[in-house]
Every structure is written in structure tokens, then in C-alpha cells.
Amino acid sequence: MKTIPFTDFRKNASGFINEVEHGETLILVRRGKPVAEIVPFTGRSQNMPSWKQPGVRLQIQGSDLSSAILEDREAST
């Protein structure tokens, strides 16, 4: 991973893109702060963020939990 000032990237973009083509990852910084990451293209689609993925659904055999709670409440009265 290589960190490059944005102005250097702008002046020598072609050379830096060649490095990316050969597997190098570049971090562009402007005024000392990272602003972009340039990574080699993999050809696969980006993974969906975990917060957008469907959650795990738990299933149990028998009655559902709410029914069990209601039955327990009725039995204790």
C-alpha cells in the first residue's frame, strides 16, 4: 500500500495507474488526510454491506415463544 499526495497523483496519474494494474493499492491524501483508495479491479461485484443483508431467522419446532409465555401466564394465575 502506497500513500501519495493528490497533486503527485494528478501529475503522474498514468504511472500510478500502471502500479495499480500490477497489484499496488494507492491511498491518495490531500492536506495530509486520506481522501481516496485506489485498488486493483477484481472483476467481481462488490459485496452487499452487512447492514443490507437479510438477518438470520431462527426457527424452532413446536409452539412459538409468545404462545409459550401466554400459556405460562395463564397457568400461574
DSSP character for 22?
Answer: T
Domains of the chain by residue range: 1-41
Architecture field, domain 1-41:
3-Layer(aba) Sandwich (3.40)
**C-alpha distance from residue 70 to each of 58, 61, 62, 73 (Å):** 20, 17, 15, 5
- Dihedrals phi, psi of 67, to nearest 5 degrees: -65, -40
Q: What is the pLDDT of residue 60?
A: 67
pTM above 0.75, yes or no: no
Exposed, middle or buried by CB within 10 Å (0-12, 13-18, 19+), for 28? Answer: buried
- Dihedrals phi, psi of 76, to nearest 5 degrees: -85, -10
**1, 77, 76, 71: which is closest to 38 by C-alpha?**
1
Per-residue model confidence as pLDDT tens digits over 22-52: 999 999 999 999 999 999 988 766 677 778 8
